[in-house]
Structure 1
Amino acid sequence: MDGQERARREEFLKTQEPLRRNAFRIIKAMLDWCNQTPGSKHFVDEMLHSIFFLGKVNNAPYTPESIVGNEEILDNLKEKYPGPFKFYSTQLPRRSPFSCVMDMVVMHNGQEKEDQIKQTLKDLINGLEERFLVSSTICVSQKSNNSVRHYGVSMSTSGPNPGKIVIAASCFSRWDDYVAGAVMTYYPDKVKKSYFDGTIKIPNNVRCQAFNLREGDAMPPCRSCGNLFGLHTTETRQWPYGNCAEAESLSELLKKEEEVKNQARPTSPTCTPENTQKAKESALKQLQNVLNMVRFKTWDKDFYNPKTE
């Protein structure tokens, strides 16, 4: 390696260091919340696995040991949370790390404390560097004004490949089948499938509002969310389908609110069981391709299950 190439490589590695620093700060915050929130250990467990996986597939790979750094904390984590260390190189996460952080904060504060939840996440984010492991938006969905709030955050992945992996994993293992079907209508690109349309229409009286986590401002749905969920928007910008906070938030709503789910069901004649299966097989094939691209060739076809209390 010549001097110029070495200098370029060193400069590139510096740009990746925020992943390690952010991971350590997030882990410490989650351990603190876990100590104050009974029944929340599984959020820490799942978050660790997701972070370790993203460290492994990062352009500059990081091991769990290099992410945690501190030997005392590392030994403690290995003892209390052995699963993430054992499975980060063979199983896929069901969601991105910040989704676990959000669930912890919701449990810690109570789902009705919306402003407090947003402020807690904002305070955490303001101590983190941009890009790595940090969600930019949160979404709140409600059946009606006084009903339970269902939260979601945008993908806290960096770069197109990790995003594609976690979006597909969420479709297969975590999201409500209607949300998964809508996302798979376009996955992995921003092009609608000719043979399958699983998009849905959320009723107009359902609240689905996204907010910028750093600034706190309300945000309109992007064009992708308009296409997926029938949300009214004048935005023209398209994010990768499934990347936005609306996907997770509406998924949680549809899992709990049967009446809303019935009203939102996909109506396209192409949304048949056969075509749904074909879209799933296509998404699985694309997922496998992306895993090969990031040199993750040890997937055992399982998605990580965190240890419960």
Structure 2
Amino acid sequence: MNRYVELNSKITQTLVKSSKIFIEKVFNFVVSVVKNKKLIWKRGECYLTEILHSIFFIGFIHRPKIYPEEVLQEELGLILRNKFPDAFQMYKTELPSRPPYSVLLDLVVEVTGDQNVSAVLDKLLELNADMHVPTLQEDGTVCGNDFSLASTVVSYTYFQNAHGKTRNYFGASVSCRGEKARQIFIDLSCIKTWNQNVAFAVYLASNDQESIRLPQKIYSTAYHMYNNPPSGIARPIQTYHQIRPCLKCVKCFPNIEFFPPYKNNSKVIHWEYGNCAEYEAVSKLLNTESWVNDRVEGTDLTSLQVFLQERKHRLAENLGNNQYEF
């Protein structure tokens, strides 16, 4: 098939536009916060390298494949190639650890501070609006954001008892479209990124078994991003609203105190275990607060290794089907 025709499909064009604007806006954001002394350049380099790696990888496993030079304008592409040469090579041979929006979330939290939840959400809304990709409908009207790399849900979790409170740990839902791409990132997270107790919770819930037991006094709140485009205006008004946990989060983490609490509405959940923002947030809490992690009960390391081997097989199959060799 002609390369121009391949790249001209609506889904592919949306991914190209989303990738381009994501990279441009995050690069400008990093430059601005470094200039304002809210971030050192070395940290900014780390975030940008990981974001470029992840976005280029998503393009490379897409059908048809999307290459960096098809995403970046010539001037910015030259700047980024000079500053981050590794990112322009390793996406073809090394697997990323997480989706790009999860990296952006960590960047925002580092700049704003983890204790000010409102500041984190406000900065995310500001960046989301800047990265708006309008979608033209058949009738000529423009609908809400078709930003295919955005996480629609972010959450934060913390542990608190009579002796004090931990930091807030933030997580994002899996931020890429397509069932296989989501599977790839969930499997990568289970294998190489998430805390092993969280990976085992995914295994137990996926097999309809009783999940791990986290220590009491872990709290979690999630927010869903909504687009509210006014009539006749292309740029949407985006807002975050607190949401209740889904049944799959409650099954994985039955003794977390969710706010708002779970309410059974018999809603059919189509996504698989591991897709929600809570997994990443809880994993960060357990990875950082080792004394909380040590109190987790119910993890069987032998069964966990069997599960991870199964996920490695699924990962290899999905990557092979997308013509990715590693």
**Which bracket does the TM-score occupy, shorter chain normalised?**
0.7 to 0.9
Which stretches of structure 1, 4 residues or longer, exceed 6 Å deviation after superposition? 9-12
Which stretch has the larger CA shift, 11-20 or 86-95? Answer: 11-20
Q: Structure 1's 229 and 14: CA in aligned 2 closer, same or farther, altered over 3 A?
A: same
Equivalent in the alignment of 1:275 = 303
Equivalent in the alignment of 1:227 = 251
Query: Is the 2:132–2:147 Cα contact (8 Å) retained in structure 1?
Result: no
Q: Structure 1's 250 and 118: CA in aligned 2 closer, same or farther, altered over 3 A?
A: same
Deviation by residue 1:111-166 (Cα, 9 ceiling, x = unmatched) = 12211111111122234232511100111111128531100001101011010111
Higher strand share: 2
Equivalent in the alignment of 1:133 = 149
SS at match of 2:86: helix
Quick one: higher RCO (CA 8 Å, sep 6+), 1 or 2?
1
Equivalent in the alignment of 1:19 = 15
Superposition TM-score, scaled by structure 2 size: 0.79
SS at match of 1:74: helix
Equivalent in the alignment of 2:56 = 52
Query: How far apart in 1 are the matches of 2:210 and 2:252?
Result: 8
Query: Is the 1:55–1:63 Cα contact (8 Å) retained in structure 2?
Result: yes
Equivalent of residue 181 in structure 1, options 200, 205, 216: 200
Q: Structure 1's 198 and 283: CA in aligned 2 closer, same or farther, altered over 3 A?
A: farther
- What letter matches 1:158 in structure 2? R
Superposition TM-score, scaled by structure 1 size: 0.83
CA drift at 1:34: 1.9
Query: How far apart in 2 are the matches of 1:72 and 1:131?
Result: 23
CA drift at 1:76: 0.9
RMSD (Å) for aligned C-alpha atoms: 2.2
Query: Is the 2:191–2:311 Cα contact (8 Å) retained in structure 1?
Result: no
CA drift at 1:259: 3.7
SS at match of 2:240: coil
Q: How does 1:174-213 map to 2 (within 5 A)?
A: 174-185=193-204, 191-192=206-207, 199-213=211-225
Counting aligned pairs with the same residue, the percent is 26
Deviation by residue 1:243-271 (Cα, 9 ceiling, x = unmatched) = 110000000011122343234322xxxx5
Deviation by residue 1:1-59 (Cα, 9 ceiling, x = unmatched) = 8xxxx9xx679712321211111221122212222221222111001000000011113
Q: Number of residue pairs matched? A: 280
Equivalent in the alignment of 2:276 = 244
Equivalent in the alignment of 2:186 = 167
Query: How far apart in 1 are the matches of 2:101 and 2:24?
Result: 13
Equivalent in the alignment of 2:292 = 260
Query: How far apart in 2 are the matches of 1:122 and 1:106?
Result: 13
